[in-house]
Structure 1
Amino acid sequence: MATTEAQGASTPRVRLQQMGKAYSGTLVLEGVSLDLHAGEVMALTGENGAGKSTLSKMLCGLVDPSQGQMQLDGKPFAPTSRRDAERQGVRMVMQELGLVPTLTVAENLLMGRLPHKLGWLDHAAMRALARTQLAKIGMEHIDPDTPVSQLGIGQQQMVEIARNLQDGTRVLVLDEPTAMLTLKETEHLFTQIALLKARGVALVYVSHRLEELQRIADKVAVLRDGRLVDVRPMQGVQEHELVERMVGHAVQDNEGRPRRTRGALRLQAHKLQRGTQVRGVSLSLYAGEIMGLAGLVGSGRTELVRLLFGADRAEQGEISLHAAGSSAATHTVAPNWGSPVHAIRAGIGLVTEDRKSQGLLLSQSIRANTTLAGMHKIARGGWLQRAQESEIARHFVERLRIRSRSAEQAVSTLSGGNQQKVVFARWLHQPCDVLLLDEPTRGVDVGARADIYHEIDRMCDDGKAVLMVSSDLRELMAMCDRIGVMHDGELVAVFERGQWSDQQLLAAAFGNLDEAPSAHTAAQAATPQ
């Protein structure tokens, strides 16, 4: 690849000059100028709402700029649509998947360029082309005839990426591409990025995972509040420097903090079973502490959380809930709550891994989403008290620093991090003794992540028991007091704070318990102490 100096003397693949965008007279992006060269990866980072997606979408024809000019290989570039941008070689893998669930993998991969023979769709050629595309990302084991709706969310993300790895691509924008990928899938993606660089493709890589940026990016551009605040070579940049540039101040690091004091038993699960997804899992959750749940995708983490919340039905087992101030179990169910409504009434809350399809009413306001789980608290004679509801929502908008015009703003128009804060606001409004967090910071920037961590700490201080699922081991090691590891549907080990390492956690996730000597057995972890 060319050196930075050589690139500086050549015509940029992409040149952005004083780009800006206003909505209803309010500038959300202003005066952004950047150059991106062929064979270069530029990391684009910043908090949610900083303008990263707006800038990316302007480049790819999805948003019309309010000001500024763009050039592609030295020529004026003003795409009128996404298809127009793609015809000129500028493509984007969006964070929101654009796949059609009812179509097959092959049909999604080749949409708009399906092969024909004598006027008829050539199914054999379509499968062969699809297999070639899938092989590029290490997904050749997927049957091209599989409907996309039958794939896991991580596999769908890889299909979306494969669809955009086409010949003729000059610029590729990747918006949070690894947010739903396993380590193995991420490695395949990084291999493809290296190949694209070698072919001279210019890449914009949008991510909140700073360790990834340090690994693959040549330079980094930082946006804050719609303005470009820094552009520099990535080599030698420290993670804390990026964080401070993104948020404007230093962010506390929790990794070295002491273990929290364990309080009373709040929830105990005994030998929960659901097919091969969850196999005889027992665990105990205590007031004032966080238990993490690690494991590979498909290990049963989310499935276990859904059983604890009553979203899925267990076949065997028992769940006991101990309310605050009670030494005896106040609710015991064998094996199911019956429905999430019963779990909520008993004092359990859930932040789902997919906030858009499972956690939020996107078309509704911040106000409506905040009070959704506790509407009975603000109803009189069957009628909602609108003024009280609005006051509650305004309180949590201020407390959680939700960036919005007002509590009446539709949740669909918020950034990912602010949407996630709305989900947390719901469980702050609806008191619960046990909070289940499934990937609580997925797709969330470092600033919003720090705010969410602060609220989780406050929940522990208030005596809540927290179960936290995350694919980010660093997050678990920073936040948790214990970390349980799932493998093949079983809780195979639990580590106490100060007795783990990322290597040991990974070894347990792969089932190599001999390499994780400091872990307790699952049975020990489930026994109240």
Structure 2
Amino acid sequence: MGAILEMQRIGKSFPGVRALDDVSLTVAEGDIHAICGENGAGKSTLMKVLSGVYPHGSYDGRIVFDGRDARFRSIRDSEDLGIIIHQELALIPQLTIAENIFLGNERARRGVIDWPDTFRQTRALLDKVGLLKPPGARVDTLGVGQQQLVEIAKALSRNVRLLILDEPTAALSESDSQALLDLLLELKSQGVTSIIISHKLNEVRRVADRVTVIRDGSTISTLDAAGLTEDRIVRDMVGRDMAHRYPERERRAGEVVFELRDWNVGHPEQRDRRAIRDLSMQVRAGEVVGIAGLMGAGRTELAMSVFGRSWGRDISGTVRMHGKVVDVSTVDRAIAAGLAYVTEDRKTLGLILDETIRRNTILANLPAVSAHGIVDERRETEVAERYRRSLRIRTPSVFQKVVNLSGGNQQKVVLAKWLFTEPELLILDEPTRGIDVGAKYEIYTIINELSRAGKAVILISSEMPELLGLCDRIHVMNEGRFVGELSADEASQEAIMSLIVRE
């Protein structure tokens, strides 16, 4: 088939930044076309140009859709032609599936919603995406993977011709991710063209027909996916070979820094359920200890319950730092005891997006830059600048708002905030979620530097290769319990999964 979309020599500038510079993209009708690149490469900006978020006249270049010049002045203009952006978790939880799917596109007669027709069309859409839920079910009763299917159904309700998916599996479990990829292939068989932006190169290779790599706002390559290796994609993305995805580190554990004994946590809503049961663990100086498990195993709940009892109720057990029992009953006390927690949700819980890098960096340790309750702005700037340099945060200045940074650089700001508290134990919860391979390598390097400096690190990750590449030991967690412990020499994906499924 011919091209359904051509984007020719697209350029887009923001104050002080050239986000896109002469980017060209051709998508064949009926294909799944992948776009890869590091955070900040310009992928999402390009899609916002295509969809009308950035209207015609605000960018350079030309868009041709279905053989005609396209000059979109709003999202509605692009949607009218069947260009639909899948927005991750953009549903209203309190409304039903049917209400969400047709919100803004209601099935109505003479201004009155036709509910029988709405539910009939919803059922047909849910059958198409393979979701066996009633149209009247509230969205807040669905799992994350099921909500993603509702969003796809919503896109299909608008007679989609080109479906754009930006990191669609970032928040999904392995099984939900595979289901979504299978759905993309099914939609392709039905004639739907898709553009998928993803950092998960194994997923790209599984579903894509062609792959375009963007680096620093420019098109680097467009290649057939058949026979394409991950190493080739990585080389084009980062501009260098990455023979070793994980930096080498010398494994050298010291004295026990952190010890958890007989830790039990009640579920905050289900009062008869213990979410964490009889957990004990140790982490030594210079050691990286991983926690593996499927979604819902209790990994994040464990981390939050230890860090200031931020989650759970009726918590019992002891926390020791350097052999002494410490009070971690509030976040302030946990920080004072030497703990730090990098949350998996950096945008909601880790950062104030509308504040500057400077302000975010010092938030967890205000007393260190204050006198008599007043922040010393010169000292604040010095601290932020020091971490900007040491963590290699790519930004013109520390006065830049965090919302304008790429995901990888946002994550470095979160790390800077917690490193400024000078912790003895750093708990990292999904520290590389949603960031590209180049930025991941930089985060891995930082983890290695922390362990070399004698810090104790707990790493929670859903990516088993990441755990295997970084950790000295791995605890396997299932249903709120540790079901096994593996040394670096014993650990493999097969060994981890066998421990999970045996329980």
Would you say same fold, with TM above 0.5?
Answer: yes
Q: Which residue of 1 aligns with 2:487?
A: 496
Tell me, what secondary structure is at the counterpart of 1:251? coil
Q: 1:56 aligns with which of 47, 51, 62?
A: 47
> Counterparts of 2:289 and 2:128 in 1: how far apart (Å)?
38
What is the CA-CA distance between 1:136 and the residue it aligns to?
Answer: 4.0
1:91 aligns with 2:91: no
What is the CA-CA distance between 1:403 and the residue it aligns to?
Answer: 2.1
- Identical residues among aligned pairs (%): 37
What is the CA-CA distance between 1:330 and the residue it aligns to?
Answer: 4.7
What is the CA-CA distance between 1:22 and the residue it aligns to?
Answer: 0.8
What is the CA-CA distance between 1:155 and the residue it aligns to?
Answer: 4.5
8 Å Cα contact 2:79/2:158 also seen in 1: no
> Counterparts of 1:287 and 1:234 in 2: how far apart (Å)?
44
What is the CA-CA distance between 1:30 and the residue it aligns to?
Answer: 1.0
Q: Which residue of 2 aligns with 1:182?
A: 173
What is the CA-CA distance between 1:312 and the residue it aligns to?
Answer: 1.5
> Counterparts of 1:298 and 1:115 in 2: how far apart (Å)?
37
Q: Which residue of 1 aligns with 2:132?
A: 140
What is the CA-CA distance between 1:24 and the residue it aligns to?
Answer: 2.3
8 Å Cα contact 1:208/1:443 also seen in 2: yes
> Counterparts of 2:139 and 2:335 in 1: how far apart (Å)?
34
Tell me, what secondary structure is at the counterpart of 1:71? strand
What is the CA-CA distance between 1:387 and the residue it aligns to?
Answer: 0.7
> Counterparts of 2:487 and 2:123 in 1: how far apart (Å)?
45
What is the CA-CA distance between 1:371 and the residue it aligns to?
Answer: 0.7
What is the CA-CA distance between 1:466 and the residue it aligns to?
Answer: 1.2
Q: Which residue of 2 aligns with 1:430?
A: 421
Q: Which residue of 2 aligns with 1:320?
A: 319
1:287 aligns with 2:278: no
Q: 1:112 aligns with which of 95, 104, 107?
A: 104
> Counterparts of 2:127 and 2:448 in 1: how far apart (Å)?
44
8 Å Cα contact 1:127/1:145 also seen in 2: no
- 1:321-470 aligned at under 5 Å gives the runs 321-323=320-322, 328-331=323-326, 333=327, 337-470=328-461
8 Å Cα contact 2:263/2:276 also seen in 1: no
- 1:483-522 aligned at under 5 Å gives the runs 483-509=474-500, 511-512=501-502
> Counterparts of 1:144 and 1:434 in 2: how far apart (Å)?
47
May I ask how many residue pairs the two structures share in their alignment?
493
Q: Which residue of 2 aligns with 1:67?
A: 60
Higher deviation after alignment, 226-235 or 497-506: 497-506
Q: TM-score, normalised by structure 1?
A: 0.88
Tell me, what secondary structure is at the counterpart of 2:324? coil
8 Å Cα contact 1:273/1:281 also seen in 2: no
1:80 aligns with 2:79: no
One-letter identity of the residue aligned with 1:294: A
Higher deviation after alignment, 19-28 or 436-445: 19-28
> Counterparts of 2:286 and 2:245 in 1: how far apart (Å)?
16
8 Å Cα contact 2:213/2:236 also seen in 1: yes
What is the CA-CA distance between 1:69 and the residue it aligns to?
Answer: 0.5
> Counterparts of 1:135 and 1:494 in 2: how far apart (Å)?
42
8 Å Cα contact 1:170/1:202 also seen in 2: yes
Q: Which residue of 1 aligns with 2:269?
A: none
Q: 1:225 aligns with which of 198, 216, 223?
A: 216
> Counterparts of 1:254 and 1:176 in 2: how far apart (Å)?
21
Structure 1, unmatched stretches of 5+, are 1-6, 514-529
Change (3 A) 1:321 1:134: farther
> Counterparts of 1:390 and 1:173 in 2: how far apart (Å)?
40
Higher deviation after alignment, 108-117 or 256-265: 256-265
Structure 2, unmatched stretches of 5+, are 267-272
> Counterparts of 2:157 and 2:489 in 1: how far apart (Å)?
47
Change (3 A) 1:221 1:256: same
Q: Which residue of 2 aligns with 1:31?
A: 22
Q: Which residue of 2 aligns with 1:522?
A: none
Higher deviation after alignment, 138-147 or 361-370: 138-147
Tell me, what secondary structure is at the counterpart of 1:277? strand
- 1:148-159 aligned at under 5 Å gives the runs 148=140, 151=142, 153-159=144-150
- 1:474-485 aligned at under 5 Å gives the runs 474-485=465-476
> Counterparts of 2:483 and 2:114 in 1: how far apart (Å)?
48
What is the CA-CA distance between 1:490 and the residue it aligns to?
Answer: 1.8
What is the CA-CA distance between 1:499 and the residue it aligns to?
Answer: 1.0
One-letter identity of the residue aligned with 2:75: R
1:173 aligns with 2:164: yes
8 Å Cα contact 2:198/2:204 also seen in 1: yes
One-letter identity of the residue aligned with 2:445: H
One-letter identity of the residue aligned with 2:310: A
What is the CA-CA distance between 1:246 and the residue it aligns to?
Answer: 1.0
One-letter identity of the residue aligned with 1:282: S
Change (3 A) 1:192 1:431: same
What is the CA-CA distance between 1:119 and the residue it aligns to?
Answer: 5.4
One-letter identity of the residue aligned with 2:232: E
> Counterparts of 1:456 and 1:22 in 2: how far apart (Å)?
34
Higher deviation after alignment, 176-185 or 285-294: 285-294
One-letter identity of the residue aligned with 1:105: I
> Counterparts of 1:457 and 1:35 in 2: how far apart (Å)?
41
> Counterparts of 2:145 and 2:302 in 1: how far apart (Å)?
19
> Counterparts of 2:134 and 2:201 in 1: how far apart (Å)?
30
> Counterparts of 2:9 and 2:339 in 1: how far apart (Å)?
49
> Counterparts of 1:285 and 1:317 in 2: how far apart (Å)?
20
Q: Which residue of 2 aligns with 1:18?
A: 9
8 Å Cα contact 2:92/2:139 also seen in 1: no
Q: TM-score, normalised by structure 2?
A: 0.92
8 Å Cα contact 1:157/1:180 also seen in 2: no
1:272 aligns with 2:272: no
8 Å Cα contact 2:214/2:221 also seen in 1: yes
One-letter identity of the residue aligned with 1:434: L
Tell me, what secondary structure is at the counterpart of 1:243? helix
> Counterparts of 1:312 and 1:266 in 2: how far apart (Å)?
23
Tell me, what secondary structure is at the counterpart of 1:315? strand
Change (3 A) 1:120 1:248: same
8 Å Cα contact 1:138/1:188 also seen in 2: no
What is the CA-CA distance between 1:73 and the residue it aligns to?
Answer: 1.1
Give me the CA root mean square deviation. Answer: 2.2
Tell me, what secondary structure is at the counterpart of 1:371? helix
